[in-house]
Each structure stands twice: as C-alpha cells, then as structure tokens.
Amino acid sequence: TQLLEQSPQFLSIQEGENLTVYCNSSSVFSSLQWYRQEPGEGPVLLVTVVTGGEVKKLKRLTFQFGDARKDSSLHITAAQPGDTGLYLCAGARNAGGTSYGKLTFGQGTILTVHP
Amino acid sequence: KAGVTQTPRYLIKTRGQQVTLSCSPISGHRSVSWYQQTPGQGLQFLFEYFSETQRNKGNFPGRFSGRQFSNSRSEMNVSTLELGDSALYLCASTSGAGGIQYFGAGTRLSVL
C-alpha cells in the first residue's frame, strides 16, 4: 500500500508568519500534486512537480520535490488570511494497471491564518 | 471552458436506500475518477473510467459501482446505504497528460 504521510495535520499561525508543510512516502511517485480545498468545494490544483529535485514557485508558495521523488514540501512565505484552507498532497504513478486514474492523497493540513 | 460538474450538490438518504451521483467531465477529458472524502479517512480512490470501461478500482465493497457513457459523463451508484457512507463524493477528470486531475465541487451525501 502506498501511503503519503502529511504533516502537520493542523497549523494555526498569525498573518505574516512563514510555514512549511511536509509530504513523505516510502514509495516513488511519477509526479506529486498539491491541492488546496475550501469548505464545501472540491480540491483546486496548485502545482504539479515531476522531476526529482524540482522547485516551483507560485507567488508566495514554494514547492519542492525530493531528489528520490518520495517526498515533497510546500513553503508559504508571509502567510495571509486568504491562505486559510485544507492543503493536500497527492501522488500519481503512471505505470498503468492499478495506477490508472488513481491519486494517493495525504491526510491533509488544515491551515488557519489569523489576521 | 466549463469545469467538472457534479450533481446534485447535496443529498439526504436513509439507511438501506440507494443513490446515484452524476459527474460531467471537462470537455475533451475521457478519464473520470471518483473519490470518497471523510474526516477520518481523507480522500480515498473509488474507481476510474476511461472510454466507458472501468480501468481501476479501489478497496470499496461491491455496493459502490459506476459507469461511464459515450459522452464521458459518469455516474456512481451506492446501494443499500449505510451510515458510514456519509461523505463528500468527488469526481475528477483527466486530460490524460501527466495525470493531472481536475476536481468537481463534490456531492455531499448524508445517510440518516
């Protein structure tokens, strides 16, 4: 069973602080995706990382994919109340068969940014 | 381009009943995946359909089934509902390139 361990589960911080969310696995993934989900809505894709060691930046968000493609991190600089939400990492394997259409999700990190 | 559309948004059923949920993928997407999201288990994969064929299935009982039509729209059915089936059911469509999945807003199912 492929598992993605996401930490921390909860983060409550003040506006302007920095934070990092981690996503770790013992399995190799072909790609790893980060989503953000707000209450009552479906997950919205933030970024996809594919290459080991890859770093992608999206405004104040920085995503890294580990060299071995087993782990990833999301770093938010100067968090704002609008960043509040559930952050999910999800791994994909493109090997066909039991991998078709299947993303393996971490448990998620509930982030609350207080003004 | 319209996103993934799921209907209905909310459903209330009683134990023992059955329910059908619908998902219309992004135009041109031929793969549809279904997930169950609960506070305790998070997002868990149910199954995936491509060109009207189920290609992959998660670890859910046979009460959970699905199908896909020639226009790529998909339905999932849950028979003999149990209280534990209360969840947000999400579908996602994929362009096929890179496995990127785009999610609908989900159907919130409450079983009483």
* pLDDT (tens digit per residue) in B35-94: 999 998 999 999 999 999 999 999 999 999 999 999 999 999 999 999 999 999 999 998
CA distance A105 to chain B (A): 6
Question: A115 preceded by cis ω (within 30°)?
Answer: no
How far, in Å, are A65, B63, B67, B74, B108 from residue B21 at the CA level? 35, 14, 11, 8, 10
A97 — contact with chain B (CB < 8 Å)? Answer: yes
A107 — contact with chain B (CB < 8 Å)? Answer: yes
Confidence (pLDDT) at B95: 76
- Phi and psi for A64 in degrees, rounded to 5? -125, 145
A7 — contact with chain B (CB < 8 Å)? Answer: no
A55 — contact with chain B (CB < 8 Å)? Answer: no
Confidence (pLDDT) at B97: 57
As given in the structure block, the two tokens for residue B2 are: 């319209």
Contact at CB, A97 and B58, closer than 8 angstroms: no
Chain B residues with beta carbon closer than 8 angstroms to that of A51? none
Confidence (pLDDT) at B89: 98
Contact at CB, A105 and B98, closer than 8 angstroms: no
**H helices present in chain A, as ranges:** none
- pLDDT beyond 80 at B104: yes
SS (H, E, C) A58-86: ECCEEEEECCCCCEEEEEECCCCHHHCEE
